[in-house]
């Protein structure tokens, strides 16, 4: 009995956690090519529709990446990338859509992005403001085998990080759905009445790598 327990402890990663992170944030305190958070949702089939939302807080004036989803052969299968002061980039399977957004003072930024393979339409909301739609990768799909990382841009499946693109700041309230949210759904998320069915901040399966802290949300 004792031997079997010991074997179980050896094979279960001690850094892997599932936790309700309501009221908490991941803090990325410095520029690095190592610190990141791995998210481990269960995705069993290719994604043809997707929504990702998150809150980020940073005073960076250079490019940075809060959310990176990579698949084998597609390092930017779903990429959220910020180019300060006011350009937002979303990529699906290596094809990008740029959005010019309002310049904002130092504050939390609440992002929602949706993509629908049927039409290729990409939608972006920032702090409740809806921006003109773009169209990319119509008829494509995101492979089910994924590597999802917060705080770094993957240049290969699960790695290839560059310190110059790392986030210095905070991330909270990360959710992901396997469908495109409607404007009404977005309002439900903002009010706390809707949570992700693929990634759920209230039941997050994650693994911290390097110097990333969990702190109360200010």
Class of 15-216 in CATH: mainly beta
CA distance 161 to 156: 8
* Top-confidence residue, 15 or 83: 83
Q: Peptide bond before 85: cis, by omega within 30 degrees of 0?
A: yes
- Average pLDDT score, the chain: 92
- What percentage of the chain carries pLDDT values higher than 90? 88
Per-residue burial over 9-44, b = 16 or more CB atoms within 10 Å of its CB, e = otherwise: eeeeeeeeeeeebeebbbbbeebbeebbbbbbbebe
Q: What's the half-sphere exposure (Cβ side, CA atoms, 13 Å) at 42?
A: 3
Alpha-carbon distances, residue 21 vs 52, 68, 171, 173, 204 (angstroms) = 17, 20, 11, 8, 7
- What percentage of the chain carries pLDDT values higher than 70? 93
Domain spans in the chain, listed from the N-terminal domain onward: 15-216
- In the block, residue with structure tokens 């958070």: 37
Helix ranges restricted to H, 93-202: 183-190
Mean pLDDT of 2-10: 40
Mean pLDDT of 158-179: 97
**For residue 42, pLDDT beyond 60:** yes
CA distance 195 to 203: 10
What's the pLDDT band for 71 if we cut at 50, 70, 90? very high
């Amino acid at each position: 009995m004792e031997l079997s327990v010991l074997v179980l402890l050896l094979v279960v990663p001690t850094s892997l956690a599932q936790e309700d992170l309501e009221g908490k944030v991941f803090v990325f305190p410095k520029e690095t090519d190592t610190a990141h958070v791995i998210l481990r949702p269960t995705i069993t089939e290719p994604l043809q529709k997707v929504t990702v939302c998150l809150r980020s807080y940073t005073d960076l004036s250079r490019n940075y990446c809060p959310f990176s989803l990579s698949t084998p052969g597609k390092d930017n299968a779903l990429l959220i990338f910020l180019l300060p002061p006011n350009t937002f980039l979303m990529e699906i399977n290596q094809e990008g859509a740029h959005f010019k957004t309002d310049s904002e003072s130092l504050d939390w930024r609440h992002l929602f992005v949706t993509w629908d393979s049927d039409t290729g339409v990409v939608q972006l909301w920032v702090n409740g403001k809806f921006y003109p739609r773009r169209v990319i990768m119509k008829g494509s799909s995101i492979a089910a085998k994924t590597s999802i990382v917060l705080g770094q841009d993957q240049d290969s499946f699960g790695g290839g990080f560059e310190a110059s693109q790392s986030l210095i700041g905070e991330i909270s309230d990360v959710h992901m759905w396997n469908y495109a949210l409607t404007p009404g759904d977005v309002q439900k998320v903002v009010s706390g009445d809707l949570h992700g069915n693929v990634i759920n901040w209230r039941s997050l399966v994650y693994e911290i790598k390097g110097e990333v802290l969990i702190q109360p949300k200010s």
